[in-house]
């Protein structure tokens, strides 16, 4: 297994949503990279979309928004709520 070098993840200040797919052949969730590295991103979270009859591996990210759009919509709603409720500068720290 190749070790992924990501020395500057702690420097990411923006809120981040990473979406991966259970049947992704390139960024395979079984490698546990997300479990290990995402906690280093202060405002980061990730979701692994389960395999289903509509999924098609690496093509999920561009061909089938139905699989991931609810995760993105929820993330954007939470961002909007925070931007309305948080004092200036707090949401991006």
What pLDDT digit, counting tens, does each position of 75-91 carry? 998 877 777 666 655 54
What pLDDT digit, counting tens, does each position of 25-77 carry? 666 666 678 888 999 999 999 988 887 777 766 666 667 778 889 999 999 98
Q: What is the 3-state secondary structure (H, E, C) of the chain?
A: CCCCCCCCHHHCCCCEEEEEECCCCCCCHHHCHHHHHHHHCCCEEEEEECCCCCCCHHHHHHHCHHHCHHHHHHHHHHHHHHHHHCCCCCCCC
- 19: burial class by Cβ within 10 Å (0-12, 13-18, 19+)? middle
């Amino acid at each position: 297994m190749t070790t992924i070098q990501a020395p500057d993840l702690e420097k990411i200040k923006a809120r981040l949503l990473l979406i991966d797919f259970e049947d992704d052949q390139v960024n395979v969730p079984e490698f546990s990279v997300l479990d290990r590295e995402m906690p280093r991103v202060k405002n980061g979270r990730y979701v692994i979309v389960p395999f289903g009859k509509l999924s098609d591996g690496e093509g999920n990210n561009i061909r089938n928004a139905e699989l991931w759009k609810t995760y993105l919509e929820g993330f954007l709603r939470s961002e909007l709520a925070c931007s309305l409720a948080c004092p200036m500068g707090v949401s991006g720290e």
